[in-house]
Structure 1
Amino acid sequence: MAPAAFDANTQLNYARHIKYWRRNLKTLLPHFYTSNDSNRMLLALFTVSALDILGDLDAALSAEERQGHIDWVYSCQLPEGGFRPWPGSNYGPLRSEENKNWDPAHIPGTFFALLTLVVLGDDLEKVKRKEILTWLVKMQRPEGSFGETLGDGDFVHGGNDSRFGYMATAIRWILRGDLEGPCEGVPDIDVDKFVNCVRQAECYDGGISEAPFHEAHAGFTCCAIAALHFVGRLPLPPSQKPDSLIRGVTDVPKTLHWLVSRQTLTLDEDDGLDTLNDETDTSETCHDAHTFVKLSSRPSAQAKSNLKGRPHIHFELEWVGVNGRCNKVADTCYAYWTSTPLQLLGRLDIIDRQPIRKWLLDKTQHLVGGFGKVTGDPPDMYHSFLGLMVLAMFGETGLQDVDSALSIPHPVVRSTLHSTHLSTMRNSAPPSKKRKIAVTAPEKIEFDFSAREEYLTGFHKRKLARIKHAQEENAKREKEEKLRFRRELREQRKVDLEKHVEEVNRLVKQANGDLDDIIAGETSGDDDDEEEFKGFQEPEPINQEDEYVDEDKYTTVTIESVGISKAGFSRPGEEDEEAVAKRKAEEERKKAEEEEAASKKKVWTKAWPKNSERPKKKKKKFRYETKTERKAERMKQGLKKRKQKEARTAK
């Protein structure tokens, strides 16, 4: 049962959330997490911490499984200190001085590994404390910021925002506590320089950004305030006397105002809160009611006097989301990034937790368990874990207490950590015994493999089904559109053809205007036994005399050649000796010329084709007769046949 301050009708579905996180623990993750394989240590922390918040970690893990997970985390520890975020970069026995820069210690990986060990109940005895603390000092840059990894020549790689400072100070606090300065030969980070870095990133509106003069962001604000909390440099309460230490968050009221202002009514991308055009406005409200929606300070005396005599309107917001920057949509994770700094500053009570809780449970809680990023999104491990953290901070019944600064359950872990801090071992006291964990008999877990397959592939299958359905609908529409276009094209062509036929007929009639009369006369002659068609009438010649040639009046004459010699006329076929000699000489000359020409004749090759020099004959173009020409030709042939018939009849 939910607390009295909360709506009892809105409940956290514990069974679904436990089932969701047990799936993540016992089975393979969906293929969408493939790109996060290098963040496997973070996914492990999310899984065990979420089950611990739900109170199901002891039932989900046997003692052997718990120890196996602890051993896996230690397998990612490097000999020189620090942890890698996943085992994929482990060279094993092939690791050397030459290739160790490709398998470096990692600030986020070390932070997540230590927290995972703490949640699993390990005493951190196997952690290389001195090596990690020495390496941590090298990870700080001269201006005070921290990076991600260490390269050649102790060059610090990675970003320089408050996220890495938060994880570095958390590692320092876990391994050495609140003690500042060198201890047992182990150097310490420069806390003052780090605090100056945080102060330089403060914005005019009270938030904190990743770098000076950038936009304030709830995530960077949370990391910066939590880091100041770990190094003990948060502002002192007014009841305490100021000290000489450099402290961060120079204007606490402005920072609180900025954090509270992250509450928003824009719960998804389609929401557009425009209260000035609300249909509920009347002449009595005059938009005064909208001032109650804004989260501002108390009204002034002048404002109170202006409100006298007007009806009081009380607004109870059903859902309120939280964003990370101004004018952004609500996001599940920012409920945590905003609530944590408020709790560390001791003012978690100034936000409206009831509508935020209702928004998380009604809008972003998913049916299969877990939380999505925004309304309607499928669950993911990041938002599902931070959603549980926020509800645990709000005091949700059934959830374990949490340490919001470390993002892990059970604040009593702090005392456990302090018992193993480096500062408590100054007197070389024997190491403390391992903390015994009261483990109850784990509940037997039976998985339905068909349900697992549906869970792992369901989202992707439904997405593919939607894509396929959309493609089929698109193809169907394209086919219908193509058929409609073809139908219209056929109709248009039919209309164009009819118009073309009409136009051609009109032109033919115009060009042969009297042809129809001739055809009509012939037809009427056949029907009424009138005068037959006599052919086309030739036009009268102009200035031309007729010439008639009678071939019977002429005689055919054949001209033959006659050879004349000195002896007189000779008969044809008779030649004298001189003529014969000339003829033979001429024949010999022609023969010699032919032989000479034959010797110079070109031989056929690919370069000199046989008929290459012959001019190509042009093909005659064939012209089809028109319909009118064919009709006229048929009429001429008919006339000719009738005349021949008449001639035969007359004989």
Structure 2
Amino acid sequence: MDLGSGFDRERHVFFLQMMADGLPAEYQTQEANHLTLAYFAVSGLALLDALDRVDKEQVASWVLSFQAYPRDKTDLDDGQFYGFHGSKTSQFTDDSNVSSHNGSHLASTYCALAILKTVGYDLSSIDPEMISASMRNLQQCDGSFMPTHIGAEKDLRFLYCAAAICFMLNDWSGMDREKAKEYILQCQSYDGGFGLVPGSESHGGATYCAVAALRLMGFIEADVLSKSTESCVIDIPLLVEWSLQRQGLDGGFQGRANKPSDTCYAFWIGSVLKILGAYHFVDRCALRRFLLSCQSQYGGITKFAEDMLPELYHSYFGFSALSLLEEPGLKPLCVELGVVVSNDIAL
């Protein structure tokens, strides 16, 4: 629903504050993703410069309660991953307060660290060895990552999470960067985009994971398009062409060819272009019109302009996309990490 030409910041702050205070019934089935939902709400408030609406110390304490711990350091070699649980239902402790069921997940760990960083918690207070040493168990022979030690799909999403975790902890011992790079290179398709796994269709989310991970790992420079691309590890001109082709006539971005524009891809693909130094090629006015047309009368942003009800995922990435457009009322975003820019982020 188009609320006019303006960005309705206060309505959006109210929507995110409501989500941060207590998830509506519609989200209760997603309890296993509790940390991820909290990341969207808290990081969204930070983007809207409204982090004062939450108790930051209380948020940090709540997030830290999801951390999994081994009984002792010898358990770091037991094949398990000691990161953060996605929810309380995946965490059980014995009489000695040691996790007896470890449901740690790379995506939950990324969200936990991103929230802590957002609320100003000193990540140096977290022992990186426990997370990094056990995260090595998740990297596969081909360089990809599984999200959890009990087994699951392996693709670029979790490789990106691993890279972001290492970057935020300032500890790269948790992954073999060369092997990870080789896996990413195998995922670049003939058209320039990246698929989630080698040989799969190019996809906006997968392309973001590939490019952001390479940037965090130090394999591509900022604004690489303005420099010589001949020695770059990936085909930059083809990637830029594929990315720009995703902007539709309505101004929005599609995630794949022949798909409708979707608010989240304004961030996923917009961030790729931002990292590469090609964001100035975007039709910014048309993109802004599209994103503002997806504002809901209830606050938040919808997936498509014709939708009535907003949800957290598309609201957060809609706000992130508007931040890339430097919309007044929104703070700048470190697109590689998905957190608001702060003085201690140096890429």
Report the AA paired with residue 299 of structure 2: G
Offset of residue 394 of structure 1: 0.8
Which residue of structure 2 lines up, in the alignment, with residue 331 of structure 1? 262
Q: Is the 8 A contact 1:401 1:411 kept in 2?
A: no
Q: Is the 8 A contact 2:35 2:86 kept in 1?
A: yes
| TM-superposed deviation, 1:95 | 7.8
1:86-124 Cα offsets, whole Å, 9 max, x none, are 111221225899x84x42321111110000101111012
Deviations 1:364-397 (A, max 9, x none): 1111111011122210000000000011111111
In the other structure, the counterpart of 2:336 is: 405
Matched, 1:120 2:110: no
User: Residue by residue, what CA displacement relative to the aligned partner does 1:537-595 show, whole Å, maximum 9, x if unpaired?
Assistant: xxxxxxxxxxxxxxxxxxxxxxxxxxxxxxxxxxxxxxxxxxxxxxxxxxxxxxxxxxx
In structure 2, the partner of 1:366 is 296
How far, CA to CA, are the matches of 1:195 and 1:348 in structure 2?
A: 24
Cα deviations by residue, 1:598-632 (Å, 9 ceiling, x for unpaired): xxxxxxxxxxxxxxxxxxxxxxxxxxxxxxxxxxx
Structure 2 gap ranges (5+): 71-81
RMSD: 2.2
**Counterparts of 1:12 and 1:136 in 2: how far apart (Å)?**
41
Deviation at 1:67?
1.4
2: CA distance between counterparts of 1:96 and 1:411? 35
Question: Alpha-carbon deviation of 1:82?
Answer: 1.2
The one-letter code sitting in structure 1 at the alignment partner of 2:121 is D
Q: Distance in 1 between matches of 2:8 and 2:225?
A: 39
Residues 196-244 of structure 1 deviation map (CA, whole Å, 9 limit, x = unaligned): 111111111111001222111010000110000110112666746987x
- Partners of 1:125 and 1:259 in 2: CA distance: 36
Kindly report structure 1 stretches of 4+ aligned residues shifted beyond 3 Å.
94-97, 235-243
1:201 aligns to what? 187
- The structure showing larger relative contact order (alpha-carbon pairs under 8 Å, at least 6 residues apart) is 2
Hey, what does 1:605 align to over in structure 2?
none
Cα shift at 1:125: 4.1
Q: Deviation string for 1:288-316 (max 9, x for gaps)? A: xxxxxxxxxxxxxxxxxxxxxxxxxxxxx
One of 26, 49, 56 as aligned partner of 1:55: 49
1:24 match: 19
Query: Which residue identity does 1:355 align to in structure 2?
Result: A
Corresponding position: 1:175 with 2:169? yes
Partner of 2:92: 91
Percent identity between the aligned chains?
A: 31
Equivalent residue letter for 1:408: V
CA distance in 2, matches of 1:112, 1:343: 22
2:296 corresponds to 1:375: no
> Greater Rg, structure 1 or structure 2?
1
Asked whether the equivalents of residues 228 and 248 of structure 1 are also in contact (C-alpha less than 8 Å), the reply is: no
DSSP-derived class of the 1:91 partner: strand
Normalising by the residue count of structure 1, what TM-score does the alignment of the two structures yield?
0.49
> What are the residue-to-residue correspondences of 1:26-425 with 2, within 5 Å?
26=21, 28-58=22-52, 60-61=53-54, 65-80=55-70, 81-94=82-95, 100=100, 102-151=101-150, 157-176=151-170, 187-234=173-220, 239=227, 248-249=233-234, 251-265=235-249, 319-362=250-293, 364-377=294-307, 378-414=309-345
- In structure 2, relative to structure 1, the CA distance for the partners of 1:403 and 1:239 (3 Å cut) is closer
TM-score (norm 2): 0.89
1:22–1:241: structure 2 CA closer, same or farther, 3 Å change rule? closer
Match of 1:499 in 2: none
Aligned pair count?
330
Answer yes or no: is the 8 Å Cα contact 2:225–2:236 preserved in 1.
no
Instruction: Please state whether the residue corresponding to 1:41 is helix, strand or coil.
Output: helix
- Counterpart-to-counterpart distance in 1, 2:229 and 2:268: 30
Distance (whole Å) between structure 2 residues aligned to residue 240 and residue 342 of structure 1? 16
What's the counterpart of residue 11 of structure 1?
Answer: 6
Partner amino acid for 2:240? L
Q: For each residue in 1:237-276, what CA deviation from the matched residue of structure 2 results, as whole angstroms up to 9, or x when unmatched?
A: 6746987xxx642x111110100000113xxxxxxxxxxx
